Chains A and B, each alone.
Chain A
Amino acid sequence: MKENRKSGMTFIVKMITNIMIGFMIVFGGYIVLFGHITPGGGFPGGVMIALAYILVTLAYGRNIVERKVSGITASVVDDLGALTFWFIGIIGLCVGGEFLYNFLGKGKPFHIFSAGTIILNNIAITLKVGMSLYAIFLALAILGRVVTDKNERKDEQ
């Protein structure tokens, strides 16, 4: 916890983050899972989930959040999201003869398991968008790390 106090923002911001983060991820997940029946979908849901991670990065500093999800994990998950979408399209091509053909049953309208592959596509887009936004943020935060390291060195001197 000593490190926690040293890096990142003030105690107030950290407390608020602790409370908010769960709500953000749950709301993001809701937006994704109900994307095919209510306004929303993979992109906005993914952005919300990415924002939860970015909020933690801002409040606690880069090192803490990278212990949970590192840049490499983020980029691998991002690639897997894209691949999932691609495979859903190709399975449609193989089964129905058209790219992204809806090969699952349509289900009952206005229920969560309806609209066939759209919910799977939304989840794939969430992985792609969420993790790539987070990875972009980490990439931009490299400069921040360089500056912090310099300051720490100055403090030691």
Chain B
Amino acid sequence: METLLPLFVAIPIFSAILILLVGKWDKKIFPRIWSILTTLSLLVLLVLFWDKGTIIHEMSGWKPPYGIVLIKDSLSQLMLLIVNGVAFLTIVYSYSYILRYEDYLRFFSLFMLMLAGMNGVVLTGDLFNLYVFLEIASLASYALVGYGVGGEELEASFKYLILGVFASMLILFGVGMVYSVTGSLNMADIARFLISHPGNKAVLMASGLFIVGFGLKAGLVPFHAWLPDAHPSAPAPISAMLSGVLIKVLGIYSMIRVFYHVIGITPIISNTFLAIGCLSMIVGALMGFGQDDMKRLFAFSSISQMGFVMVGIGLGTPLGIIGALFHLLNHAGFKSLLFLSSGAIEGETGTRNLSELGGLREKMPVTSASSVVGSLSISGVPPFNGFWSKLIIILAAFQAGKIWVASLLVLTAFLTLSYYLKFQKNAIFGNIVEKVKGAREAPMPMVVPLVLFAVICLFVGVFNYTIISNIIIPAQQILMDRGGYILSIFGNI
């Protein structure tokens, strides 16, 4: 079984190269079909690996402290589900969406590289390898954000590039510092060393670098400057991937993996998480209010929702982490849905401005219905999934005795509801305006993923207990068990 683990990275890399190579002869059909097959095969691979416990693959046969290991535990499994699930539906959506661009090859090739990078980040057990995969995913995403090569797109891409490279540099510095202290790059080996040699100042410095670096990748306030530009400028499927997956994997997942398993969580770090989380939540929600551009509104909402996740993680209690991980899963569903539906709406009406839209529910019934489901889910209306994860985080805050945090959470949930009501009132409901008159329902490959995402939002909301007890709680237990992580790699040596 463990033999197949590298395929999560190898298959998309192979597709990325093959699409470019075969694309010299077939530019239109092959890239689209082949990328759907690739993402489908990754899902099949995930089903093969589902609930098989912790699986370790030693690359090239070198034993753990010396070589690179790939490790798949329940936490990686949750993240693999998010990455590959969203990637599959997004690629199906891109089948029609890409028709509005001239160059198909590079879009799908870069998409596959981004996917390979993210699967690698999720699976790796080596700190420097984490940095390498993070760079692969980031570099692909810089190019994809500027895919439209208009002035605005290139500016956003350049801004993202500069800030992203700065973040990578900080992370690399952090990795270097940790390496100089511990003499190892294997995460479990570093953790083992740091348990027996606590209180090192260089590691504290590295922690600061990691918080800023991963925080920049996650788009948390005050490191969020790139996100509200990059998300609206990117093509809709890429916005969905960026917001639904990339900021979670490169930012939140890397941060929790490094702090919970490698460096070890301390009250200072938890409180920093809590402060950053509260700030992101409130600032994102308040900035979301004033936006007229639909995708910009969603982008600020992403910042705000990542704040929710960080608060849950910063609370540090089991319930808080369950809430955070569950919100991570839910946010991937509804935010991808919302970004994809914004792409469908923009394609039909030619505008993303809420003030120029209205009455879409009559012209595009399916798209409208699914985006209403998405916005109800993200605003936390029962029985959709967003309600349950927000409820758990708020309960966890009360349970931890942090009344202020809990009241901020409730306030933000209320703010979220109000700006999504604004989106619904202006775009979906109301009278049909001039620009919407000629709109028709989006083509089939674009509508099907929207409906599937909406069904997933409802399904996860209704069967929340099953999902939490089967997927989220094992991940939370793995995350909080640092000794178990070390044992899972060094236990049999």
Contact = CB atoms under 8 A, between A and B. Distances in A.
Nearest to A99: B6
A101 B6 CA distance: 12
Given A89-B10, A90-B10, A93-B3, A99 B20 contact: no
Interface of B: 3, 6, 10, 13-14, 17-18, 20-21, 24, 57-61
Interface in A83-107: 83, 86, 89-90, 92-93, 96-102
Given A72-B24, A86-B10, A90-B10, A79 B17 contact: yes
A102 B61 CA distance: 8
A82 interface: yes
A100 B20 contact: no
Nearest to B59: A99
A101 B67 CA distance: 12
A75 interface: yes
B6 A79 contact: no
A100 B18 CA distance: 20
Contact of A82 (B3, B17, B57, B60): B17
B20 A97 contact: no
B135 to A, nearest CB: 16
B442 to A, nearest CB: 34
Given A98-B59, A99-B10, 16 more contacts: A72-B24, A75-B20, A76-B21, A76-B24, A83-B14, A86-B14, A89-B10, A92-B60, A93-B3, A97-B3, A98-B60, A98-B61, A99-B6, A99-B57, A101-B61, A102-B60
- Which 8 A-B pairs have CB atoms at the shortest separation, nearest pair first? A99-B6, A100-B60, A79-B21, A98-B61, A97-B3, A82-B17, A79-B17, A101-B61
A56 B3 CA distance: 46
Interface residues of A, number: 19
A105 to B, nearest CB: 15
Contacts of A79: 17, 20-21
Interface in A49-85: 72, 75-76, 79-80, 82-83
A15 to B, nearest CB: 37
Nearest to B19: A79
B10 A96 contact: no
B60 A101 contact: yes
Contacts of B60: 92, 98-102
19 contacts: A76-B21, A83-B14, A83-B18, A83-B21, A86-B10, A86-B13, A86-B14, A86-B17, A92-B60, A93-B6, A93-B10, A98-B57, A98-B59, A98-B60, A99-B60, A100-B59, A100-B60, A101-B60, A101-B61
Contacts of A101: 60-61
Contact of A98 (B13, B20, B21, B58): B58
B123 to A, nearest CB: 12
Contacts of A102: 60-61
A96 B61 contact: yes
A121 to B, nearest CB: 10
A32 B346 CA distance: 51
A134 B24 CA distance: 19
Contacts of A82: 13, 17
Contacts of B59: 98-100
B388 to A, nearest CB: 39
Contacts of B21: 76, 79-80, 83
B271 to A, nearest CB: 41
Contacts of B17: 79, 82-83, 86
A86 B15 CA distance: 11
Contacts of A80: 21
Nearest to B5: A99
A83 B20 CA distance: 11
B2 to A, nearest CB: 8
A82 B20 CA distance: 11
A90 B17 CA distance: 15
Nearest to A97: B3
Contacts of A99: 6, 10, 57, 59-60
Contacts of A76: 21, 24
A86 B3 CA distance: 16
B12 to A, nearest CB: 11
Nearest to B16: A82
Nearest to B61: A98
Contacts of A83: 14, 17-18, 21
Contacts of B18: 83
A83 B18 CA distance: 8
Contacts of A98: 3, 57-61
A116 to B, nearest CB: 11
A89 B17 CA distance: 15
Nearest to A100: B60
A99 B60 CA distance: 5
A122 to B, nearest CB: 15
A89 B58 CA distance: 13
A55 B6 CA distance: 39
A100 B3 CA distance: 12
Contacts of A93: 3, 6, 10
Contacts of B24: 72, 76
A92 B61 CA distance: 10
